[in-house]
Amino acid sequence: MNPRAGILVTGTEVLSGIISDRNGPWLSERLREIGLDPAVIQIVADRPDDLFAALRWMADQNFAVVLTSGGLGPTADDLTAEIVGRFAGREMVLDPRLEERIAEIVESITARWPGLDRAAIRESNRKQALIPRGASVLDPVGTAPGLVVPPTDDQGPVVVVLPGPPRELQPMWKTALATPPMQALLSDLPTYHREIVRLFGLPESEIANTLRAAEQAGLELEPLEITTCLRRGEIEIATRYEPPAQPAYDALIEFIRERHGERLFSEDGSTVDEQVAQLLAGRTVAVAESCTGGLLAARLTDRPGSSAYFLGGAVVYSNEAKVALAGVDAALITRFGAVSEEVARALAHGAIERFGADIGIGVTGIAGPEGGSDEKPVGLVCFTVAIRQGSESTLSARLPGGRADIRERSTTVALHLLRRVLRGEAETELPGVPGGAADPASAQSG
């Protein structure tokens, strides 16, 4: 069994839900990458006794390492370093080099506000330079340093103390891995491969059936640690295994390939967003979207270099906006309704003309919770991907869930439709995407 690890997120604001925890899941992924098993993510308020009790409990579970986030600021309620020192049986000492480094950082920040009492500010930040004796210091990315605290007499876990803001925590993680206590711990860990494949157009239950069928077919799955996840309407299968299990993994992927065919769209872990960016290859794209509220444009621009291929988008909720901003014929809306394949086509071609793009994407639908009808229920979304003076592909889909689910899944369907068009596979259906109503109706939500 692999060494286990615990993640301890501190902060009353996190426990109360004022701030969502982003560090726990991120650190869990990083632990898996280096061969440690994340066993628990625990959130505690800024209360010394609760923090100490959580550390004590994790030590009782024989965790090899505990990662903490938060509680490293200059205020009185930031007590993580002090409590970790008490837990590890190490006295708190002033690190003069760290004190000067923090003072330099604070000085560069406070210089923008003349009239501040710099001596008082330095004194309050001096607290951040008090560290458990023998700890490895991780230089600040913001103003707070991190720490790696080894166990006393090799009893107990290594404690990695990290700041709360993700922009500071994430780059500091690599520095933590290079410290002597973590290097000693990692030297004894086995090497793992971690692979991800992605499928689209399948329910998660079907993947469970596939894994059962693979076992019944005699495939050796025991050496593979397989995790499945439904994300943005796609199925993600993550597998971790030691190098000798490579043949078992290859056999599993071949089984999935034969069973699910084109629904297996990524065998190398690449996302549909990444594949679309590569397939555009110098061509430009623009969108006119309604029910997705700009989320499709956000996904198309959520990559470095997206300005090379994404020209712009229009969010056209009202019928007036569809006409004025995307050039949709008002008579088309009157005849077929705002939520219709005809209007989706007009939106796609309108995006091409308005932005001068090579490719246009039109999306119109009913995300809910109101506005549907028997003919056009909530969840009906119509899509068109059109190439200027070329092919186009249009489809309607019935997508499950509430407003947020429908919006997010709609962006995924649109990107997969774009992928198929770019690959020369234009057709009126995507594998596994449930079709929607085709009859004209009066529903005007868009």
Instruction: Enumerate the H helices of 237-271 as residue ranges.
Output: 246-260
Q: What is the pLDDT of residue 122?
A: 66
Over its C-alpha atoms, the chain yields an Rg (Å, rounded) of 27
66: phi then psi, degrees, rounded to nearest 5 = -125, 130
Which of these, 237, 244, 275, lies nearest to 418 by C-alpha position? 275
Task: Write down how long the chain is.
Answer: 446
CA distance 204 to 229: 7
Domains of the chain and any CATH numbers: 4-186 (3.40.980.10), 193-266 (3.30.70.2860), 272-422 (3.90.950.20)
416 Rama class: left (phi>0) / alpha (psi -120 to 50) / beta: alpha
Cα 54 to Cα 396: distance, rounded to the nearest angstrom: 51
* pLDDT value of position 435: 59
On the CB side of 124, CA atoms within 13 Å amount to 14
pLDDT the model gives residue 260: 95
Residue 432 reports pLDDT greater than 70: no
Q: Which residue has the higher pLDDT, 31 or 232?
A: 31
Cα separation, 27 vs 186, whole angstroms: 16
pTM of the model: 0.78
- Taking residues 76-86, report their average pLDDT: 92
More confident of the two residues 442 and 97: 97
The predicted-structure confidence for 131-180, as pLDDT tens digits, reads as follows: 999 999 999 998 899 999 999 877 899 999 999 999 999 999 999 999 99
Q: Compute the distance between CA of residue 278 and CA of residue 280 in angstroms, rounded to an integer.
A: 6
Number of alpha helices (DSSP H) and beta strands (DSSP E) in the chain: 16, 17
Residue with tokens 């200027």: 388
DSSP annotation of 152 reads B
Measured CA to CA, the distance from residue 410 to residue 403 in angstroms comes to 10
Tell me whether the omega of the peptide bond preceding residue 369 falls within 30 degrees of 0, making it cis. Answer: yes
DSSP-assigned letter for residue 156: S
Ranking 89-98, 190-199, 229-238, 421-430 by mean pLDDT, the lowest is 421-430
- CA–CA gap between residue 416 and residue 276 (Å, rounded): 8
User: Longest Cα pair distance anywhere in the chain, in angstroms?
Assistant: 81
| Structure tokens that stand for 306 in this block | 């997206």
Q: What is the pLDDT of residues 226-239, one digit of tens each?
A: 999 988 889 999 99
Q: Tokens 């994404």 identify what position?
A: 310
- pLDDT at position 2 is 74
302-316, 324-338, 401-415, 429-443: segment of lowest average pLDDT: 429-443
253-258 average pLDDT score: 97
In this prediction, residue 431 has a pLDDT band, given cuts at 50, 70 and 90, of low
Look at residue 119 in the predicted model and tell me its pLDDT.
65
Q: Is the pLDDT reported for residue 37 higher than 70? A: yes
- pLDDT over 70 (residue 439): no
| Contact yes or no for 433/413 (Cβ under 8 A) | yes
Q: How confident is the model at residue 438 (pLDDT cuts 50, 70, 90)?
A: very low
Beta bridge partners of 94: 130
Query: How many CB atoms are located within 10 Å of the residue 293 CB?
Result: 16
pLDDT at 437: 44
pLDDT at residue 442 is higher than 50: no
Question: What's 245's DSSP letter?
Answer: G
- Would the CA dihedral through 357, 358, 359, 362 be positive or negative? positive
The percentage of the chain sitting over the pLDDT mark of 70, rounded to a whole number, equals 91
Asked whether the beta carbons of 295 and 286 are under 8 A apart, the reply is: no
**Using CA of residue 249, residue 251, residue 252, residue 254, what is the dihedral sign?**
positive
The per-residue DSSP string of 305-354 comes to TGGGTEEEEEE--SHHHHHHHH---HHHHHHH-SSSHHHHHHHHHHHHHH
Residues 6+ apart with CB under 8 A from 33: 194
The answer to whether the Cα torsion of 334, 336, 338, 343 is positive or negative is negative
pLDDT digits (tens, 9 = 90+) for 369-391: 777 777 888 889 999 999 998 88
Lowest mean pLDDT among 18-32, 161-175, 421-435: 421-435
Which residues are registered as beta bridge partners of 65?
A: 5, 158
Res 329: pLDDT: 96
Smallest Cα–Cα separation from 359: which of 257, 280, 425? 280
Contacts with 1 (C-beta within 8 Å, 6 or more apart), sequence order? 37
- Residue 443 confidence (pLDDT): 41
Please state, rounded to an integer, the average pLDDT across all residues of the chain: 90
Cα–Cα distances in angstroms (integers) from residue 325 to residues 288, 319, 322, 392, 426, in the given order? 9, 10, 6, 21, 27
Task: Quote the tokens at residue 435.
Answer: 């079709």
| Whether residue 241 has pLDDT greater than 80 | yes
Q: Higher pLDDT residue, 81 or 121?
A: 81
